[in-house]
């Protein structure tokens, strides 16, 4: 099997380590492409579009984000063996260890060349734009090959802030990141790490009315300018005080507040999608 390994890169601190970990793989039948400085939507559409165009040349697409560092040099070989042993398997979702949340999260995705994507308007849940009818079997692996990589292990201050904003926005829009945010909050309370503080403040920004999904890409300067103005040059202790005063800190400090907020945002998301009254 020949692999197309795709990496989407903008500002991720772990990029060089990511590329080194790919070059160290014992399985050598792959080409590695890096798509640089595109918006989240543009980058994913370019990668999926290229894979569909070259489906006759590659058997699998392995999506390794620029903030992922693979620790097992035999990972690609094991992935190939997994697909060769199961002809029905079209999508393998391998968990990675997420540093900010200090837990496993779904992260490194592998697609067979029969999968097709609908390249349209989706700008947030970009990994879910594949056409369901083209996936015969999907497997989530949190044990056998996991953790496939370490995710976001050494984020820059703004990268950490953006991490929190990204996951906060997914929670606000009815996604599945509430557990990740709760784990991030718990990790921060255990370690009081400045990078985790920035991530919580980024999540807090997603719960305001100042930002939307249109600010999710690294190359949108709105969020960066907001971060630089409010947090980049302030003393560390002042950043921690800002966390203690933030809405998201208290949402995840008390489970009843989190449940109420989760219900509110789920209802709001359902209304925006026109789902209420049709269930």
Q: Name all domains of the chain by residue range, CATH numbers in brackets.
A: 3-151 (3.90.550.10), 157-272 (no CATH)
The pTM score is: 0.86
Longest dimension (CA), the chain: 55
Say whether pLDDT at 214 is over 80: no
Q: Work out the pLDDT band at 26, boundaries 50, 70, 90.
A: very high
Q: What is the pLDDT of residue 271?
A: 55
Q: What is the DSSP letter of 234?
A: S
Q: Report pLDDT digits (tens) over 119-173.
A: 765 444 556 668 888 999 999 999 999 999 999 999 999 999 999 999 998 888 8
Q: What is the pLDDT of residue 197?
A: 98
- What's the CA dihedral at 38, 44, 49, 55 to 10 degrees? 130
Q: Are 18 and 150 in contact (CB under 8 A)?
A: no
Average pLDDT over residues 40-61: 93
Say whether pLDDT at 278 is over 50: no
């Amino acid at each position: 099997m020949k692999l197309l390994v795709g990496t989407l890169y903008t500002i991720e601190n772990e990029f060089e380590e990511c590329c080194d970990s790919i070059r160290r793989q014992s399985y050598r039948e792959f080409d590695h492409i890096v798509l640089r400085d595109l918006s989240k939507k543009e980058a994913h559409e370019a990668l999926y579009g290229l894979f569909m165009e070259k489906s006759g040349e590659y058997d699998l697409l392995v999506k390794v984000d620029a903030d992922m560092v693979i620790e097992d040099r035999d990972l690609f070989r094991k992935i190939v063996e997994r697909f060769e042993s199961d002809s029905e398997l079209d999508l393998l979702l391998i968990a990675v260890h997420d540093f900010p949340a200090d837990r496993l999260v779904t992260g490194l995705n592998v697609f067979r060349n029969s999968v097709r994507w609908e390249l349209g308007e989706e700008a947030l849940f970009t990994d879910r734009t594949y056409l369901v009818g083209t996936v015969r079997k999907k497997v989530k692996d949190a044990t056998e090959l996991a953790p496939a990589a370490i995710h976001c292990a050494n984020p820059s201050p703004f990268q950490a802030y953006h991490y929190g904003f990204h996951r906060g926005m997914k929670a606000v829009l009815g996604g599945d990141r509430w557990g990740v945010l709760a784990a991030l909050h718990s990790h921060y309370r255990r370690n009081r790490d400045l990078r985790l503080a920035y991530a919580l403040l980024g999540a807090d920004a997603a719960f305001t009315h100042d930002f939307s999904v249109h600010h999710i890409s690294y190359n949108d300067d709105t969020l960066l300018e907001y971060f630089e103005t409010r947090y980049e040059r302030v003393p560390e202790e002042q950043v921690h005080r800002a966390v203690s005063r933030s809405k998201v800190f208290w949402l995840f400090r008390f489970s009843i507040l989190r449940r109420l907020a989760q219900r509110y945002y789920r209802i709001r998301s359902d209304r925006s999608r026109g789902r209420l009254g049709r269930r």
